[in-house]
Copies of this chain bind each other. A is one copy, B any other.
Amino acid sequence: MAARRPARVSREREFLAAYDPRAFPPVAVTVDVAVLTLRAGSLSVLLVQRGEPPYEGAWALPGGFVRTDESLDAAAARELAEETGVTNAPVAQLATYGDPDRDPRMRVVSVAYVALVRSVDPPVAGTDAAEARLWPVEDVVGRRRRRRTALAFDHARIVADAVERARDMLRHTPVATALVDEPFTLSELRHVYEAVWGVPLDPANFRRKVLSTPGFVTPYDATRGGVGRPAALYRAAGAVTLDPPMPRPA
């Protein structure tokens, strides 16, 4: 029997050792949530200011430890609810960051999530304004490095990855409808794409694409006036994927 498993023994020994808390390597598992929303027409991310070292005073993603009997997704949803009060927003796992020195105190493996939430006012419910605020992503991961705010840990990289993921989610899912209040006009929906992608879109082509994609939006049978001709209103339909995806200009 020992001859049948010469290579796997060491792995099981590791597992047995794991049962002894004293012998276990101290690794913390946390979730960090990149809450993205539109604020004054700019894609923004919710950050909290740290009150203790390391990185005291620096801005960081909200996050916390995964509890013992809680799934990773549940932990992310809990953090999102604690920080914003939002409960039904699309939350997606982004990636996991675990470089040995990403936290100077100890080994911390962080599972990052992206949440796309509708604009809220006040922007962050239940938190002190001096402790949490929305930052335009341009000021955090923009191209002009001199204008960027330094983030704690490796959170700038996480935010950059989250923005890139959000841009891809807009291409392949109707998640943009979660960033506007219903009912919405097609212009409002287009502004979501323009803000997240950072490029202007042709209104005519955008309209044709959205209306011709099954399950994206459904008419609301009302109009909203403003400057110019009143616009028809729509609500999100049931599609989970957009196929073919929304085209994103280079």
Chain A residues packing against B (C-beta within 8 Å): 4-9, 11-12, 14-15, 18-19, 21-22, 24-29, 48, 50-52, 64-72, 93, 95-100, 105-107, 109, 111, 126-128, 130-132
Contact = CB atoms under 8 A, between A and B. Distances in A.
Contact of A106 (B18, B22, B67, B96): B18
Given A7-B131, A72-B96, 15 more contacts: A5-B128, A5-B131, A8-B131, A12-B52, A15-B28, A21-B24, A27-B28, A29-B109, A68-B100, A68-B107, A71-B98, A71-B100, A72-B98, A93-B95, A96-B96
Counting from the closest, the 6 A-B pairs by CB-CB distance are A5-B51, A72-B98, A96-B96, A71-B99, A12-B52, A69-B100
A128 B6 contact: yes
Of A4, A98, A128, the most chain B CB neighbours within 10 A belong to A98
B8 A105 contact: no
A98 B19 contact: no
A130 B4 contact: yes
25 contacts: A4-B51, A4-B128, A7-B126, A7-B127, A8-B48, A8-B50, A9-B51, A12-B52, A14-B64, A18-B26, A18-B28, A18-B65, A19-B26, A19-B105, A22-B22, A25-B67, A27-B28, A29-B29, A29-B109, A66-B98, A68-B107, A70-B100, A96-B111, A98-B111, A109-B111
Contacts of A72: 96-99, 109
A202 to B, nearest CB: 19
A247 to B, nearest CB: 10
A58 to B, nearest CB: 13
A15 to B, nearest CB: 7
A60 B182 CA distance: 46
Given A5-B51, A22-B21, A66 B27 contact: yes
